Chains A and B, each alone.
Chain A
């Protein structure tokens, strides 16, 4: 009986400023140590100033995860020494005097299971450390404080996962959800990290930290489960401890000595008053939240009779759902949806491609119109999409340039069919004997015309010719 729990950290990169100062929240465009100020550097005499929108975003996340949200939130200091912590304490949240972090007691449905979200807290990211030098002896620690103070939302789950596969599905759902809310960009490098804890057969819980990516998380979880199972089989007790993921050796390693001495001396961060978030504020936040993924999906299915799997794909992705929402009309919604899920997805499958693509909702509408009016074939539309993606030119222009107009003139098609019949004599014989193989010939015509021939007419004409 495997039990896995997660601790996910997600940066609120859609905010303009850091959690406690006005430096930029998304630090990635800056030279090292050029996105800092007295506050995030923790200079003597500096004081933190809480970002209103960060609290709102974190509260929205809590609500999107079906959490309860408190009337007042408070911040705490977690005290420890580390070079990436300018103050040598982190301002974070804790539920010590009642529930005072931004949210808790929520859930996310993964397949048929409800994964409980124990709590959600708002806290600051530390700076980044880079190690230079080859050997232990010459190693120096370089620190870049650009990231120090970036707003983080920490999401802690109960150990409700039963397999690494479930974890993967959950993380995808969570990423889509956060992106859909418009508060985070999970695709950005380092914007979303997760640590995990694993126990098997009711044994001790082992925490795994220092996991760099979701990919590594799955590996780490697999490794840890295997490690624990082999101990269990040999009747050796699994120690309750913290281990860290060694990316080079692809194993988890005990870090017990580091953790044991740690005492965070948590106490209230008195430079930040408790923040009252009354019911009307929370109601307003809820109303202004973007439509949830499940709600969108239901709407697509009910209103436009789109197949559930198709609706799911579009609703889950902010980019596609935006494309869809701006391009459909009442008559062609289903077609647009299909075009997106069969063709567009194939071409624009990464965040980078999404950002660079020049396809607009207008292009999609135009293409569907062209297909439905038989100006071009479905195949041609696919070719056109590729070109549009690169150049963004007007659909009509592209269709002309690439000469993608559908060939529907019977005599034109007939000529090509005659040619094919000449070239594929064996196929013609096969088709006469076994009619189901006629598609080979249709395919050849499509090939010859670069997909422009009207497939329906082509089949008709071939059948006629075969019958002769």
Chain B
């Protein structure tokens, strides 16, 4: 059975009887058994996956109503709640937390008969770019096991890239879907803020993060978006998308469209030479597809990494305050402790990066410092939004490479905090402005993937996917060696 297939092809094959849902699920689970000991994409597996698959097969053979997903296997990042399952955020402090309710996006998948394979690894509480900050060990890049898969949705990206499932749901706060998608050579979409419900997504920076589909192909991304996008009563920040069908007309192409090449994100001294070359080739590809490309400058981008980390850590400091081990958490007898010391002791379970971000998040909005850091960061956000909105008056899309470098080895970047932060340089703009952005796999050089990022204006996912599809049609990529 060929596990290196797309959702749409899989559905076709099940419909035509080439294999059953159970057969494909079993093969997927076997694949996980074979490779995950090396890749470590998964933190936990769904015990009832085969049963769920069998039920769907029964529905198919009895002619009952079947959900649009036809039982395709999908993994879920472990910061998204599913009732009765451990939802750990890759943190020791939630090691034994069993979610008592299910996230809206997972409910929507269940309703359409998707099969959940398991929960995937991440940087602890989604804070990181390499999945090296997981409390349960890092995930390896399926393209080369000595290299990082990107982060924070590293487990999600690796599970798809290694054919351990056909898609995954990750979360993107500063690039956490797009960055690992780029590093693992898959498609990763961060939608417009408010398009996908965050109910059940354990918050890190709630004003800028979104759940995003991670798939092998652009069409699969559109398919998944159709299932999970749309207003949710459980999330006041969701917006009405008028039931757009993202798959429809996805092959329309980009003839006559105007594309802005973001100067600040594509200057050659910020990029590795391989990424720089790939970017130039991608621009040529866009032009050969009939679009016109022109450089655009967005000077505020220079300040976005600082603004992003200031805002994100402030929100994280507040969102993670609830982890005081009193209502849920891990076993620690409170006898002998006084309130403050109990909480501080419990919170020593946070890993080093989360600890640092919480301290930052207490510092930058504090009474004496808010003016210098947090309030300025909010204003950078406002200024960036105006700048980007102005650019979108002229351009249909704006592009850049997703990451300034290719994947690197474990331990290479983790020691210098500023270097690490700057890996987000090309991705945080979409989060701060709330605009949709997608990373598509463009090239593999020396066995290591490079992804291209396309950004569109708010709620323009349909158009964005058309551009992504067009570029994808120009790319020829090798298969993952694993």
A positions within 8 Å CB-CB of B: 38, 41-50, 77, 79, 81, 83, 86-89, 141, 143, 263, 265-268, 270-273
B99 interface residue per 8 A CB criterion: yes
Question: Contact check: which of B201, B315, B343 meets A270 at CB < 8 Å?
Answer: B315
Chain B 217-252 against A: per-residue CB contact (8 Å), 1 yes, 0 no?
Answer: 000000000000000011111000000000000000
Q: What's the nearest-Cβ distance from chain A to residue B126, in Å?
A: 12
Contacts of A273 in B (CB 8 A): 236-237
B327 near A265 (CB under 8 angstroms)?
no
Q: A141-B339, A143-B326 are in contact. List 6 more A-B contacts (CB 8 A).
A: A44-B81, A47-B234, A86-B327, A88-B322, A273-B236, A273-B237
Q: What's the nearest-Cβ distance from chain A to residue B343, in Å?
A: 6
B94 interface residue per 8 A CB criterion: yes
- In the assembled complex, the Cα of A8 lies from the Cα of B267 at a distance in Å of 58
Given the contacts A141-B339, A265-B317, A265-B366, A45 and B234 also touching, CB distance less than 8 Å: no
Contacts of B366 in A (CB 8 A): 263, 265
Contacts of B101 in A (CB 8 A): 38, 43, 45-46
B81 near A45 (CB under 8 angstroms)?
yes
Contacts of A41 in B (CB 8 A): 327
A79 near B237 (CB under 8 angstroms)?
no
Contacts of A87 in B (CB 8 A): 321-322
Q: What's the nearest-Cβ distance from chain A to residue B432, in Å?
A: 13
Which of B11-19, B35-43, B202-210 lies at the binding interface? B202-210
Q: List 19 A-B contacts (CB under 8 A).
A: A43-B100, A44-B94, A44-B97, A44-B99, A44-B202, A44-B203, A44-B328, A47-B198, A47-B199, A47-B234, A48-B236, A49-B235, A81-B343, A265-B362, A265-B365, A265-B370, A267-B314, A267-B365, A271-B237
Q: What's the nearest-Cβ distance from chain A to residue B120, in Å?
A: 16
- In the assembled complex, the Cα of A141 lies from the Cα of B145 at a distance in Å of 50
Contacts of B112 in A (CB 8 A): none
Contacts of B370 in A (CB 8 A): 265
B315 near A265 (CB under 8 angstroms)?
no
A49 near B233 (CB under 8 angstroms)?
yes
Within 8 A of A (CB), among B49-79: 79
B199 near A45 (CB under 8 angstroms)?
yes
Within 8 A of A (CB), among B320-361: 321-322, 324, 326-328, 339-340, 343
Question: Contact check: which of B207, B236, B318, B322 meets A44 at CB < 8 Å?
Answer: B322
Contacts of B233 in A (CB 8 A): 49
Query: Which of chain B's residues has its CB closest to A272's CB?
Result: B236
A89 near B327 (CB under 8 angstroms)?
no
A89 near B321 (CB under 8 angstroms)?
yes
Given the contacts A88-B322, A265-B318, A265-B366, A45 and B339 also touching, CB distance less than 8 Å: no
Question: Contact check: which of B199, B202, B234, B321 meets A79 at CB < 8 Å?
Answer: B321
B374 near A45 (CB under 8 angstroms)?
no
Contacts of A77 in B (CB 8 A): 318
B367 interface residue per 8 A CB criterion: yes
Contacts of B81 in A (CB 8 A): 44-45
B212 interface residue per 8 A CB criterion: no
B262 interface residue per 8 A CB criterion: no
- In the assembled complex, the Cα of A45 lies from the Cα of B211 at a distance in Å of 12
B103 interface residue per 8 A CB criterion: yes
Contacts of A38 in B (CB 8 A): 100-101
Name the prevailing secondary structure of the B interface residues.
loop
Contacts of B327 in A (CB 8 A): 41-42, 86
Q: What's the nearest-Cβ distance from chain A to residue B109, in Å?
A: 16
A267 near B201 (CB under 8 angstroms)?
no
Contacts of A265 in B (CB 8 A): 314, 317-318, 362, 365-367, 370
Contacts of A86 in B (CB 8 A): 322, 327
- In the assembled complex, the Cα of A89 lies from the Cα of B97 at a distance in Å of 21
B365 near A88 (CB under 8 angstroms)?
no
Given the contacts A43-B100, A43-B101, A270-B207, A50 and B236 also touching, CB distance less than 8 Å: yes
Q: What's the nearest-Cβ distance from chain B to residue A457, in Å?
A: 73
B87 interface residue per 8 A CB criterion: yes
A271 near B236 (CB under 8 angstroms)?
yes
A-B pairs, 9 with minimum CB distance: A270-B207, A88-B321, A44-B202, A265-B365, A45-B200, A45-B81, A45-B202, A87-B322, A263-B366
B455 interface residue per 8 A CB criterion: no
Contacts of B374 in A (CB 8 A): 267
- In the assembled complex, the Cα of A41 lies from the Cα of B328 at a distance in Å of 10
Question: Contact check: which of B103, B236, B317 meets A45 at CB < 8 Å?
Answer: B103
- In the assembled complex, the Cα of A201 lies from the Cα of B100 at a distance in Å of 57
Q: What's the nearest-Cβ distance from chain B to residue A415, in Å?
A: 79
Query: Which of chain A's residues has its CB closest to B365's CB?
Result: A265
Contacts of A47 in B (CB 8 A): 198-199, 234-237
- In the assembled complex, the Cα of A45 lies from the Cα of B88 at a distance in Å of 12
Question: Contact check: which of B79, B199, B314, B318 meets A46 at CB < 8 Å?
Answer: B199
- In the assembled complex, the Cα of A44 lies from the Cα of B367 at a distance in Å of 27
Question: Contact check: which of B79, B234, B315, B339 meets A83 at CB < 8 Å?
Answer: B339
B321 near A270 (CB under 8 angstroms)?
no
Contacts of A79 in B (CB 8 A): 317-318, 321
Query: Which of chain B's residues has its CB closest to A270's CB?
Result: B207
Within 8 A of A (CB), among B299-321: 314-315, 317-318, 321
Contacts of A83 in B (CB 8 A): 326, 339
Q: What's the nearest-Cβ distance from chain A to residue B313, in Å?
A: 11
Contacts of B326 in A (CB 8 A): 83, 143
- In the assembled complex, the Cα of A443 lies from the Cα of B251 at a distance in Å of 104
Q: What's the nearest-Cβ distance from chain B to residue A450, in Å?
A: 65
Q: What's the nearest-Cβ distance from chain A to residue B102, in Å?
A: 10
B80 interface residue per 8 A CB criterion: yes
- Central interface residue in A44, A79, A87, A265, by most chain B CB within 10 Å: A44
Q: What's the nearest-Cβ distance from chain A to residue B238, in Å?
A: 10
- In the assembled complex, the Cα of A77 lies from the Cα of B207 at a distance in Å of 13
Contacts of A44 in B (CB 8 A): 81, 87, 89, 94, 97, 99, 202-203, 322, 328
- Central interface residue in A89, A266, A267, by most chain B CB within 10 Å: A267
Chain B 180-209 against A: per-residue CB contact (8 Å), 1 yes, 0 no?
Answer: 000000000000000000111111001100
Contacts of B234 in A (CB 8 A): 47, 49
Q: What's the nearest-Cβ distance from chain A to residue B452, in Å?
A: 30
Contacts of A81 in B (CB 8 A): 321, 324, 340, 343
- In the assembled complex, the Cα of A89 lies from the Cα of B365 at a distance in Å of 14
Given the contacts A43-B328, A79-B318, A81-B321, A263 and B236 also touching, CB distance less than 8 Å: no
Contacts of B201 in A (CB 8 A): 45
Q: What's the nearest-Cβ distance from chain B to residue A94, in Å?
A: 13
Query: Which of chain B's residues has its CB closest to A78's CB?
Result: B318
Q: What's the nearest-Cβ distance from chain B to residue A87, in Å?
A: 5
Contacts of A48 in B (CB 8 A): 236
A270 near B206 (CB under 8 angstroms)?
yes
Q: What's the nearest-Cβ distance from chain A to residue B180, in Å?
A: 21
Query: Which of chain B's residues has its CB closest to A42's CB?
Result: B322
Contacts of B94 in A (CB 8 A): 44
- In the assembled complex, the Cα of A223 lies from the Cα of B343 at a distance in Å of 36
- In the assembled complex, the Cα of A59 lies from the Cα of B86 at a distance in Å of 43
Q: What's the nearest-Cβ distance from chain B to residue A53, in Å?
A: 15
Contacts of B97 in A (CB 8 A): 44
Contacts of A88 in B (CB 8 A): 321-322, 324
Q: What's the nearest-Cβ distance from chain B to residue A44, in Å?
A: 4
- In the assembled complex, the Cα of A87 lies from the Cα of B81 at a distance in Å of 17
- In the assembled complex, the Cα of A358 lies from the Cα of B352 at a distance in Å of 67
Q: What's the nearest-Cβ distance from chain A to residue B95, in Å?
A: 13
Q: What's the nearest-Cβ distance from chain A to residue B246, in Å?
A: 24
- In the assembled complex, the Cα of A79 lies from the Cα of B366 at a distance in Å of 10
Contacts of A141 in B (CB 8 A): 339
Contacts of B315 in A (CB 8 A): 267, 270
